Structure 1
Amino acid sequence: MKMLTSNEWINRFLATDPPRSKSLVMTIFGDAIAPHGARLWLGSLIELVAPMGVTDRLVRTSVFRLVQEGWLVANREGRRSSYALLPEARPRFERANRRIYAAPGLDWDGRWTLVMAPNGSIDAPLRTAVRKELEWEGYAMLAPGLLAHPAADPAPLAEILERVKAGGKVFVCSAAELPDAGSRPLGELVQEGWDLSGVVSDYCRFIDEFTPLLATLREETDLTPQAAFVVRSLLIHAYRRVQLHDPMLPLALLPNPWPGSEAYALAQAIYRLTWERAEAHLMEVLRREDPEAPGADAGFYDRFGGLR
């Protein structure tokens, strides 16, 4: 089978799985704009996403909706508009970035985080908000009023409870299996609380789509900066979309082999092959409208285990 060029791969991907404009803009802000001061001019954003089939009108509609939803803040200077990540939204972007660019959890001490809201302790709307937010974070509802996750990060949990105004209103504790108590292994709770079939299917689809691209990038030496930016953006957009549904459980509790590990290694390899030329294109576009646009912050270079 003939190997596709990177441009052929891009065109085929956009024809068969075109990204939704608002979601793609979110990806661009998280992956490309957040490390560069978290702000850009509307004209720069339009230029960045145009090669991915997003029109001027769709960009304007997308940023308007993201402002309405509390993700972005708009500023107007004369006839030009700029958009920046809302400070209150930064922790959610940072949490997503930790999921995307960090390797799947290899270390686990066997402890689980439990969040409990007994009947009557909080009202129904707050109970729903807590459940919804924590399920997005990968928690499972094991019983009414009981959400659990192995190896949960306490910082995002605290931020979520504070944001939905549940701080001090629910019980949070850490639990481990009690030896010699005759209980089932706690690891079996994964089978009870999480249906991973869809996640496995999505990871396998991601691997099938992007493995040919990796082979192409390893052979090509003339990838343009603009094409590198498109590849990097589509990569993170697709990988992020899969990860949104991954509860990020410890590898010790997952089927072996776990396709999420292969998907991470694939994303890491493609990102490392494209990030530098993608950054060159990004800085050229940003500095056309803002000569003082900052370079990437230090945290950017820690992505995927280190880019330098």
Structure 2
Amino acid sequence: MPLSASGDWIAHFLASDPPRHKSLVMTLCGDAIAPHGGAFWLGSMIELLAPLGVSDRLVRTSVFRLVQEGWLSASREGRRSRYALEPTALPRFERANRRIYSPPGQHWDGRWTLVLAPTSSIDGDLRTLLRKELEWEGFAMLASGVMAHPAPSRDTLHEVLARCQAAGKVFVVDAAELPGSGSRPLPELVGDCWDLSSVSASYRQFIDAYTPVLALAESGAITAPQDAFALRSLLIHSYRRVQLHDPMLPVELLPKPWPGSDAYRLARQIYRLTYVQAEQHLMAMLLHEDASTPGASRDFHERFGGLD
């Protein structure tokens, strides 16, 4: 049986740029499972991932590793395995969702936030963990024990310090340019901290890859709910992968034009055009294993500025 136009795009994408299996499971957990109660039976995840080229064995291996890493908790009912988003991991899923589904465009007040971790305050393991977590939130390392960002989320920073058990052990400072000191203009610090050219190139690659999907969606060529779900999942997976390397800087500090804005608009358009059919397929797979699976949460319908 010949593939549909959308099926052909999916097959080509999976052959040319196959996603990492564990990372794809993570994408589904955040995008599809979290809005429907945050739990799934292993059989449902296997069915959802089969059209994306992920075998039964690879799904089991990926889920097992996510349990080991503290993202999922596991339970059994007879021979069936059920998994749920680990409560301690929920803030990290929520932060990722805010990044993915919220529009870029925060503004800069001219100040920077510095996190100072003197060697006398924390040990090497904690310093490494804190650096890794802050870099994921877009901070850059200015020097050993000095991390900086021009407009971080204060709530997120507080949550990261608490989760790393670094609260009360580091200094968090607001800094501004000192007038009359002969300082370089503070915006120039961006060029010393981040290589935005690679982030920009990744956004452009995303746009090139998914512009044909928008054409398919607008033309009504995506007729199978399974294809709509596969396209939505690959879309968010690819967009999330680019965003992981985006420091999410204020608009005043970004090169112009900034392709991240175009990438967001493209992702929003495709998501809005595919989510209804994608939800039909998702619910069919989840209800097959659990008739009590809830419908999508209110937060889901607020994604990308509102889906309805």
TM range (shorter): over 0.9
CA–CA separation in structure 1 for the residues paired with 2:42 and 2:9: 28
Q: TM-score, normalised by structure 1?
A: 0.96
CA–CA separation in structure 1 for the residues paired with 2:220 and 2:112: 46
Q: State how many pairs are aligned.
A: 305
1:12/1:242 CA distance change after superposition, 3 Å: same
- Identity of matched residues, %: 66
1:56-75 counterparts in 2 under 5 A? Answer: 56-75=56-75
* Corresponding residue number in structure 1 for 2:212: 212
Which deviations, in whole Å up to 9, do the C-alpha atoms of 1:14-61 show, x marking residues without a partner?
111111111110000000000111001111111111000001111000
* Corresponding letter in the other structure for 2:28: I
Q: CA deviation at 1:109?
A: 2.2
CA–CA separation in structure 1 for the residues paired with 2:216 and 2:296: 27
Q: Which runs of 5+ in 1 are unaligned?
A: none
* Corresponding letter in the other structure for 1:73: S
* Corresponding residue number in structure 2 for 1:260: 260
Q: CA deviation at 1:255?
A: 0.4
* Corresponding residue number in structure 1 for 2:283: 283
CA–CA separation in structure 2 for the residues paired with 1:17 and 1:201: 16
* Corresponding residue number in structure 2 for 1:26: 26
The answer as to whether partners of 2:106 and 2:249 remain within 8 angstroms in 1 is: no
Partner-residue secondary structure (3-state), 1:262: helix
Partner-residue secondary structure (3-state), 1:9: helix
1:1-308 counterparts in 2 under 5 A? Answer: 5-221=5-221, 223-308=223-308
CA–CA separation in structure 1 for the residues paired with 2:231 and 2:106: 28
Q: TM-score, normalised by structure 2?
A: 0.96
Which deviations, in whole Å up to 9, do the C-alpha atoms of 1:210-269 show, x marking residues without a partner?
011111211125521111000000000001111111111111101000111111111111
Q: Which runs of 5+ in 2 are unaligned?
A: none
Which deviations, in whole Å up to 9, do the C-alpha atoms of 1:65-112 show, x marking residues without a partner?
100111001110111111110000000010111111111124232222
Partner-residue secondary structure (3-state), 1:183: coil
Aligned-pair RMSD on alpha carbons?
A: 1.3
More moved, 26-35 vs 197-206? 197-206
CA–CA separation in structure 2 for the residues paired with 1:98 and 1:179: 36
Q: CA deviation at 1:180?
A: 4.4
CA–CA separation in structure 2 for the residues paired with 1:277 and 1:110: 44
